[in-house]
Amino acid sequence: MAYKITDTCVACGTCAGECPVGAISEGEIYSIDADKCIDCGTCSSVCPTGAIEEA
């Protein structure tokens, strides 16, 4: 199981800087590499728009 970023993402980049395994990549909206994600939840807790949820 991995976290995923929904379309409420405003591409602020906050999550990418906090992910301990570098699983989040930049794009029109950000995305999470499910193979790298260790399910720590850090990104979800720092997202200002609540865009990151458990998949």
Binding residues vs ligand SF4 (CB under 6 A) = 3, 18-19, 21, 23-24, 32, 37-43
- Closer residue to ligand SF4, CB minimum distance, 28 or 35: 35
Q: Specify the DSSP element, H or E, that contains 3.
A: strand 3-5
What is the rounded (10 degree) CA torsion for 46, 37, 12, 5? -90
Residue 30 C-beta: closest distance to ligand SF4, Å: 10
Residue 41 C-beta: closest distance to ligand SF4, Å: 5
Residue 6 C-beta: closest distance to ligand SF4, Å: 13
Using DSSP's 3-state secondary structure scheme, residue 43 falls into helix
